[in-house]
Chains A and B, each alone.
Chain A
Amino acid sequence: MSNDGDALPGSDELIENAPCALLLTLDDGTIKRVNQTFCQWLGMPREALLGRRFQDLLSMGGKLFHQTHCLTLLQMRGSVSEVKLDLLRQDGSTVSMIFNAVRRQTPQGYRQELALFGAQERTTYERELTASQKMAEELLLQQLASQKELSSAQNRLRLAQTEADIRATFAEQMVGFVSHDLRNPLAAIKMAAGLIGLDPLSERQQRSLGHVMVSVERAQRLIVNLLDFTQARVGRGITVLAQAIDLHKVIGACVEELRLMFPERTLIHRTVGEGACSADADRLFELVENLVSNAVAYGAADSDIVVTSAFEAQWIKVSVHNHGAPIAQNLLGSLFEPMLFGVADDNDAHTVGLGLFIVREIARAHWGDVSLTSSEKEGTTFVASLARPVV
């Protein structure tokens, strides 16, 4: 045992070359003893360190932290540990060290015993950690900001949509009110024109009166369409009053009337199958009138217009056919929506573009729908299919 003891280095040697830096300072930091390890780490000879104050070896941040944290702790409770400080080497570079210290009272006053451990690797690693944390926090902030932006954009969109809906509904209601109010003055004009017609008139006056009557009727049809439209859009939808009727008779009477309205065109009525069914005669009249008016307006001027009323197994079909330029392919999808014209620059368009919308609504009110085929060769055919309820 004693032989082993002799082979071990003495205490002084252990302290000199300990794997940590050891210092003894006065209470103001003046270095009184320092081991070889510390001298090596800082690259300074012992003579250059003795008599200097420990805090003067620190980086500026280290000095401030040492003063505000370490010294107060040492004075208050006599020890401090695991504080990381940057020290300045002889060559001006910095080296990070973990700082532990104890403050002891001696007959000659207070002494501070310091032990320092190298922490270069740890510092590098911690810097990377801090940088990653900062980056993660920034990314999180960015993400939160973009989420906030997205949700506020969505809110703005919803708000704009709601506003637009309210405006549209209001506009449609206005159309309804105005159309309704126009009916009375039109009726008065028509009645007055009829009274004028009872008196003997010159041929010219007679012709003018005819124009007045035709125009009034056109205006009345337009108003009926507008009222149906507003009822379909903002009201409870188009109402039908189904009654037992003979389809062929109703459509036949309708075609007869339309012939008077469009004397320059040839209207042909074809019937298929029996005719007894349940439907709204006035609405069917409206439906055929709208389709025929369209055919007159957009079909070839010399083409016959064929109105077919047909009974099939489950459907009642009312179709109107004409020849002429086919309907553009890109319009087919939206043709039955309100306010769209088949031919945009056609000034002779007979309504404001509600006709086909109303045709579809009437068909739907009869649990049916509308369809359309249009080609150069075959011409254009609109078909309204109505469900065929049991009579």
Chain B
Amino acid sequence: MGSTATLGAFVSIDLMGFWTACVVIRMSVQLRNNVNVMGDGPATLVFAHGFGCDQNMWRFMAPLFAERYRVVLFDMVGNGQSEIHAWFKRKYDSLDGYASDLLEIVKEFAGPGPVIHVGHSVSAMIGALADLKEPGHFAAHVMIGPSPCYINDGDYIGGFTRQDIESLLEALDSNYLGWSGNIAPVIMGAPEQPELGQELTDSFCRADPEIAKQFARVTFMSDHRQDIQRLATKTLILQCSDDLIAPVQVGDFLHRAIAGSTLRQIENVGHCPHMSAPGACIDAIDQFLADSGVVALVK
């Protein structure tokens, strides 16, 4: 799994306003996205984290699925322990750059069986975009708290106004002020969570301020309502009952937009049911995989 794939990444070094170099680098996908593979089974589940976090957010779900399936975890470039030098603005100024990375991860790390993409929040859209870009790699999508468009537009309710998003960018600005480079703020001890190793907790939710701002802008300004209607792959939408970031109207919209999709509501306050209600999420995913016939329910 540590093999090297060619990454046609053009790294530009903008020196004194001149394009002085255009270097093609080869970088391991494994290193770039800090890819981790657990377990094995008849299908591969690729877990993709959302904005503001990293693969650790799957820790309440992934180990359980790893008992029955091949599980692939990764950090999006600029988050967690991904290779920060692989980030450059031109590639990641739309979700498309992240979709390309996802396809490379799937091609290199998926097992021989069907591949199910489990994406949280913005990653649900990235999974759909990757599928549309190169159809055939995904047998199904599980979208947790997805939203194709966060900003209200006419009859469409995304949950936010443009000013709200500007206000988030300001909050990011003021919270990353004074952070140097890739250093997270000092975090008070967690005496009641001894199972979390120090190394793990130190890197959790770590992000370069510039990258975080760009990612927030790309995420919250995106509008993929047109794209999503072309998605023909089997899809499960996990909608929280009370979610600030993806209100129930958005889940309904997606259910209508994606033909043949399944909508399941999870009783949960907040945007991260896979952390606050992992049991309900696991049940819903297992049920979906069995009902849709993507993989037989393996006990």
Task: Please determine whether chains A and B interact with each other in the same assembly.
Answer: yes
Q: Does B192 contact A (CB under 8 A)?
A: yes
Report chain A residues within 8 Å CB of B178: 126
Q: Does A62 contact B (CB under 8 A)?
A: yes
* A29-73 contact mask (Cβ, 8 Å, vs B): 1 or 0: 100000000000000000000000101000111111101110111
Smallest Cβ distance from A89 to chain B, in angstroms?
16
Task: Flag if B276 contacts A77 (CB, 8 Å).
Answer: no
Report chain A residues within 8 Å CB of B201: 76-77
Task: Flag if A80 contacts B187 (CB, 8 Å).
Answer: yes
Q: Does A13 contact B (CB under 8 A)?
A: no
Q: Does B164 contact A (CB under 8 A)?
A: yes
Q: Using known A-B contacts A28-B269, A78-B190, A82-B186, determine if residue A67 contacts B245 with beta carbons closer than 8 Å.
A: yes
Task: Flag if A73 contacts B269 (CB, 8 Å).
Answer: no
- A side interface size, CB within 8 A: 45
Q: Using known A-B contacts A77-B196, A77-B201, A85-B171, determine if residue A68 contacts B185 with beta carbons closer than 8 Å.
A: no
Q: In the complex, what distance in Å separates the CA atom of A81 from the CA atom of B16?
A: 39
Q: Does A206 contact B (CB under 8 A)?
A: no
Task: Flag if A65 contacts B175 (CB, 8 Å).
Answer: yes
- Contact pick for B187, options A53, A81, A126, CB 8 Å: A81
Report chain B residues within 8 Å CB of A71: 270-272
Report chain A residues within 8 Å CB of B51: 68
Smallest Cβ distance from A107 to chain B, in angstroms?
14
- Contact pick for A60, options B168, B175, B270, B275, CB 8 Å: B168
Q: Does A369 contact B (CB under 8 A)?
A: no
Task: Flag if A77 contacts B190 (CB, 8 Å).
Answer: yes
User: Which of A142-150, A189-197, A240-248, A357-365 forms contacts with chain B?
Assistant: A142-150
Q: Does B1 contact A (CB under 8 A)?
A: no
Q: Using known A-B contacts A76-B204, A83-B175, A84-B174, determine if residue A67 contacts B271 with beta carbons closer than 8 Å.
A: yes
Report chain A residues within 8 Å CB of B164: 60-61, 64
Report chain A residues within 8 Å CB of B175: 65, 69, 83-84
Kindly report which residue of chain A lies nearest to residue B51, judged by CB atoms.
Answer: A68
Task: Flag if A68 contacts B187 (CB, 8 Å).
Answer: no
- Contact pick for A147, options B17, B57, B172, B204, CB 8 Å: B17
Task: Flag if A76 contacts B57 (CB, 8 Å).
Answer: yes
Q: In the complex, what distance in Å separates the CA atom of A123 from the CA atom of B169?
A: 15
Q: Does A217 contact B (CB under 8 A)?
A: no
Which B residues between 15 and 70 are near A, CB-CB below 8 angstroms?
16-18, 50-53, 56-57, 59
Which B residues between 165 and 218 are near A, CB-CB below 8 angstroms?
166-175, 177-178, 185-193, 196, 201, 204-205
Task: Flag if A67 contacts B204 (CB, 8 Å).
Answer: no
Report chain B residues within 8 Å CB of A373: none
- Contact pick for B275, options A72, A79, A80, CB 8 Å: A72
Q: In the complex, what distance in Å separates the CA atom of A28 from the CA atom of B175?
A: 23
Kindly report which residue of chain B lies nearest to residue A119, judged by CB atoms.
Answer: B174
The contact size tier of chain B is 35 or more
- Contact pick for A148, options B17, B57, B163, B167, CB 8 Å: B17
Report chain B residues within 8 Å CB of A102: 188
Task: Flag if B177 contacts A126 (CB, 8 Å).
Answer: yes
* B255-279 contact mask (Cβ, 8 Å, vs A): 1 or 0: 0000000000000011110011000
Q: Does B244 contact A (CB under 8 A)?
A: yes
Task: Flag if A64 contacts B168 (CB, 8 Å).
Answer: yes
Q: Does B87 contact A (CB under 8 A)?
A: no
- Contact pick for B204, options A63, A73, A85, CB 8 Å: A73
* B231-245 contact mask (Cβ, 8 Å, vs A): 1 or 0: 000000000000011
Q: Does A93 contact B (CB under 8 A)?
A: no
Q: Does B160 contact A (CB under 8 A)?
A: yes
Q: Does A325 contact B (CB under 8 A)?
A: no
* A123-146 contact mask (Cβ, 8 Å, vs B): 1 or 0: 100110110000000000000110
Task: Flag if B167 contacts A59 (CB, 8 Å).
Answer: yes
Q: In the complex, what distance in Å separates the CA atom of A96 from the CA atom of B164?
A: 16
Q: Does A27 contact B (CB under 8 A)?
A: yes
Report chain B residues within 8 Å CB of A60: 160-161, 163-164, 167-168
Q: Using known A-B contacts A61-B170, A61-B171, A77-B190, determine if residue A68 contacts B269 with beta carbons closer than 8 Å.
A: no
- Contact pick for A29, options B53, B245, B269, CB 8 Å: B269
Smallest Cβ distance from B243 to chain A, in angstroms?
9
Query: What 6 A-B pairs are tightest by C-beta distance, nearest first?
Result: A61-B167, A68-B52, A61-B171, A78-B190, A60-B164, A28-B269
Give me 19 A-to-B residue pairs in the complex whose CB atoms sit less than 8 angstroms apart, sorted by A's number: A59-B171, A60-B161, A61-B170, A61-B172, A62-B171, A67-B244, A67-B270, A68-B51, A72-B52, A76-B56, A76-B201, A77-B187, A77-B193, A77-B204, A78-B193, A84-B175, A104-B192, A123-B174, A148-B16
Q: Which residues of A contact B (CB under 8 A)?
A: 27-29, 53, 55, 59-65, 67-69, 71-73, 75-86, 96, 100, 102-105, 123, 126-127, 129-130, 144-145, 147-148
Other A-B contacts than A59-B167, A84-B171, 17 sampled, CB-CB below 8 A, are: A61-B164, A61-B170, A64-B244, A67-B270, A67-B271, A68-B271, A69-B175, A71-B270, A76-B193, A79-B189, A83-B175, A84-B175, A85-B171, A86-B171, A127-B174, A130-B173, A148-B17
